Amino acid sequence: MKAAAFDYVRASTVDDALAALTGSENAKVLAGGQSLVPLLNRRLARPSVLVDINGLGLSSIQRADGHLVLGALARHRAVETSPLVSRDLPLLTEALRHVGHVAIRNRGTLGGSLAHADPAAELPAVAVALDAEFTVRGEHGLRTISARDFFTGSGQTALEADELLIEVRLPVLPPRTGHAVEELTRRSHDLALVAVFVTVTLDQDGACEQARIAIAGAGPTPIRAIAAEESLRGRVLTPALIAGAAREAAAATDPPSDIHAPAAYRRDMAAVLARRAITRANGSAR
């Protein structure tokens, strides 16, 4: 199929892009296009205006004040291969290796994936796991939205129609932190039926100082398994303790049933993947 007719604006500045968004009741933003273009061609999205923001820059990857600051137009592949990211946020590096294929990652953008807000996608779950903050800009200026507040439903975010995601700030992981990503997919590099993202930080005695557990594909938004994290904090992670936390993580999910898998199967697999991910993250922290 072909996309329905639309007007096209190639913005050269953020102000140009915001003006185009403000002046239309049904505009879409084009960044990498890896999610949007298929929707256009299937006419599942029918914007009156397509605002191309590829000329805005916004692709920097830098460290500032204990955070990695990533421009919204940073390509997946650039983030994946960045030595700075692999050193300070290896969870993000590992997660990106699960995103599509290299050809897709060469075009897809960090901000595009986050704004698309697919609940089965890797980057929204990583942002929730790492307590990311999103800087967005509209005609009234800048505002900051936490990752937990940004995702409001499947394909829905706290972005207003006349706002752009500008950059993402993620806290650098502390020393003695291990990480792991575990996914269940039908085929290699498909969207996950369920995916679990974990970091474990150990204290000097080998007990868990902090754990972060996020789950994708198990609800309308990425899920942060707070009760499971708290069950690990301050304790040496034994197999029995990890298994219990994995069950707690699965209990926090609200997975859908569809043609790919029933809800009960997704919930069971969330527990299996959480156990594997916590075990692996704990091992790498040691």
* Nearest of 20, 197, 179, 27 to residue 99 by alpha carbon: 197
pLDDT of residue 187: 80
pLDDT the model gives residue 76: 96
Give 7's strand partners: 49
Distances in Å between the Cα of 217 and the Cα atoms of 5, 40, 180, 199, 244 are 33, 24, 17, 19, 21
Position 146 scores a pLDDT of 97
Please report the beta strands in the chain, taking only residues with DSSP state E, as ranges in sequence order.
7-10, 27-30, 49-52, 61-64, 67-71, 133-138, 141-146, 151-153, 156-157, 164-171, 177-184, 194-202, 208-216, 223-224
DSSP secondary structure letters along 121-133: -HHHHHHHHTT-E
80 contacts 109 by C-beta, under 8 angstroms: no
C-alpha radius of gyration, the chain, whole number? 19
Tens digits of pLDDT across the chain (286 residues):
788 888 899 999 999 999 999 988 888 998 998 888 888 889 888 988 989 999 999 999 999 999 999 999 999 999 999 999 999 999 999 999 999 889 999 999 999 999 999 999 999 999 999 999 999 999 889 999 999 999 999 999 999 989 999 999 999 999 999 999 999 998 877 788 999 999 999 999 999 999 999 999 999 999 999 999 999 999 999 999 999 999 999 999 999 998 989 999 999 999 999 999 999 999 999 8
CA distance 112 to 70: 13
User: Helix H segments across 72-180?
Assistant: 76-80, 83-88, 90-96, 102-107, 110-116, 122-129, 147-150
If you ran DSSP here, which 8-state letter would residue 114 be given? H
Q: What are the φ and ψ backbone dihedral angles of 167, each rounded to 5 degrees?
A: -155, 165
What pLDDT is attached to residue 283?
A: 95
Separation of alpha carbons 224 and 111, rounded Å:
20
- In the numeric block, the tokens 């590992």 are attached to 94
Please report the pLDDT score of residue 74 as a whole number. 97
Gap between the Cα atoms of 2 and 43, Å rounded: 8
Query: Which pLDDT value is given to residue 100?
Result: 87
Query: Which residue do the tokens 């040691």 mark?
Result: 286
Say if CB 6 and CB 30 are below 8 A apart: no
Smallest Cα–Cα separation from 110: which of 55, 42, 61? 61
